[in-house]
Structure 1
Amino acid sequence: MKTVLLAGGLGTRLSEETTLKPKPMVEIGGMPVLWHIMKIYATYGYTDFAVALGYKGDVIKEFFLNYKLHKSDMIVSLRSGDVKFENDLSEDWTVGLHETGANSMTGGRLYNLKKIFKPGDTFMLTYGDGVADIDVEKLVAFHKEHGKIATLTAVRPSARFGSILMEDDGHILEFKEKPQTGEGWINGGYFVFDYKIFDYLTDESTILEREPLENLAKDNQLVAYKHEGFWHCMDTIRDRDNLNEIWAHGNAPWKKW
């Protein structure tokens, strides 16, 4: 089963980083967040990827084109120009890098990838900026069990600040540092779609999260897989720093490899 990664957005709230590279190439622990997301899927055996490129897509192309170069020892014959790779640590993945338009919206990028699928296909899709300790195998099984066109993963986002439960006199009963919010679900990405999703996409201006998902819900063709575990997106510099801090402490919940 193929996995689509939306990697073409501008990432304006990460402008300190994204003036030089696209948002999915912002790093956690020295590797792009895009790589971390792919590792999540690969842990469950899903290693066939289609990356939907847009803003500064060449940076992503160059990363994967030179991936083997940076993951291996090299022996170079200067006279012949022959190169031999040794101790290759490259992952056994297939990565399609597809230009989907500089200004395409989320649904538009998927619309432009219709050509790589055929009727009857089921595939996964997620954004290029969110990591989670999601069990992808259970997600796929949930989608198949419900038999709908689309499954999205519903998550409880982390609070921006810690929470305090206190008495009227100020006596603190409970303190939690940045907990997962106890109420409310949001779209965390990590979708599974059947080919019929393309019936809900119009053109490059289609925003996946508006008419397509709204109409799927009206048609009783959208279900939510509830993920109670860790989920964190990289929207801001603060998010980047938080994710890097988690990684540096060696307890990143999404690291299953």
Structure 2
Amino acid sequence: MASKSNRAAGLDALILCGGLGTRLREETEFKPKPMVEIGGRPILWHIMKHYGAHGADRFVLCLGYKGDAIRDYFIHYHNRSHDLEVDVGSGALEVIPTAREDKLDCRVVLAETGHDSLTGRRILKALKHVRGDIFLATYGDAVADVEIDELIETHQRMGKLATVTAVHPSSRFGELAIDGGVIRSFAEKPQVTEGWINGGYFVFQKKAFELLHEDQNEPLETALLEQLARMGELAVHHHRGFWQCMDTFREMQLLNDLWTSGAAPWRVWA
């Protein structure tokens, strides 16, 4: 998949990476959920590759639970993604230029946002690292083939403080009541099995976060998105393609099976 217009170029992409991931305890006991692997690469890497295909080249990662694992991954990423020649006697290291389409080519801000912070506070703590008045954001535990260019176009056309990508659910998530392209209500994780749900992949105006206060540790979903919905300031971008979160061991296996089969819809290179 290739970007059509690179609308994401120049926009920072913020990724929430600090949750506990308790429903995937088989893996998250030892690592943060964004570092759980699909096809030998962290799901975080897959998400970043997707954004990168649309021109995003600067990411702000909101760290929390076991955040050092993410720090270490990116601090050592350059050497790990190239062939190397080592002088064993002196320890000198030479990086051998390697042409690989699967490399990340971007800048990353590793922002500590607190072990116990909820999603609203995490973004508030990291907001000082975000350039410009508009930014992209998503969760660090789901992959999709969302056309980021089209998402940004929707946000610009609707002229609201925020836009959320609505997807069809595979399990229970925040259900969206939609009227005329605007979110009218936002119910976090209701008891439903059909309709449109919050799939992440947001576009925000920074101004939206003036509605939150860092001294109040609140979730993004109930503290901000519900407010924006009541104000008529939460637009929707409908995504009818692939979207899948990785909340459970079964979902992790599903994503790995898709990758291994060569049929992963979110893959962004040949």
**Alignment TM-score > 0.5, same fold:** yes
TM-score interval for Structure 1 and Structure 2 normalised by the shorter chain? 0.7 to 0.9
Whether 1:128 and 2:140 are equivalent positions in the alignment is yes
Relative to the length of structure 2, the TM-score reads: 0.83
Whether 1:197 and 2:205 are equivalent positions in the alignment is no
Q: Equivalent of 2:40, from 30, 34, 37?
A: 30
The one-letter amino acid paired with 1:144 is Q
In structure 2, the residue corresponding to 1:112 is in which secondary structure? helix
Structure 1 stretch 192-201 or stretch 98-107: which is displaced more?
192-201
Residue deviations 1:129-185 (CA, integer Å, cap 9, x gap): 01001100110111111111100000002369xxxxxxxxxxxxxxxxxxxx99400
User: Which residue in the other structure is 2:14 paired with?
Assistant: 4
Unaligned runs of 5+ in 1: 161-180
User: Which residue in the other structure is 1:173 paired with?
Assistant: none
In structure 2, the residue corresponding to 1:216 is in which secondary structure? helix
Q: Equivalent of 2:223, from 207, 211, 215?
A: 211
Q: Equivalent of 2:54, from 30, 36, 44?
A: 44
Write the mapping of 1:1-257 to structure 2, written as runs, cut at 5 A. 1-88=11-98, 89=100, 90-117=103-130, 121-158=133-170, 183-203=194-214, 205-257=217-269
- Report runs of 4+ in structure 1 exceeding 6 Å deviation: none
Once residues 193 and 123 of structure 2 are traced to their aligned partners in structure 1, the CA distance between those partners, rounded to angstroms, is: 33
Unaligned runs of 5+ in 2: 1-10, 173-191
Relative to the length of structure 1, the TM-score reads: 0.88
The alignment-based identity, stated in percent, is: 49
Structure 1 stretch 144-153 or stretch 66-75: which is displaced more?
66-75
Residue deviations 1:52-81 (CA, integer Å, cap 9, x gap): 000000000111111122211111223443
Once residues 63 and 183 of structure 1 are traced to their aligned partners in structure 2, the CA distance between those partners, rounded to angstroms, is: 37
Instruction: State the 1:15 CA deviation.
Output: 0.5
Residue deviations 1:186-233 (CA, integer Å, cap 9, x gap): 000000000112112222512110021111111111011000111000
In structure 1, the residue corresponding to 2:23 is in which secondary structure? helix
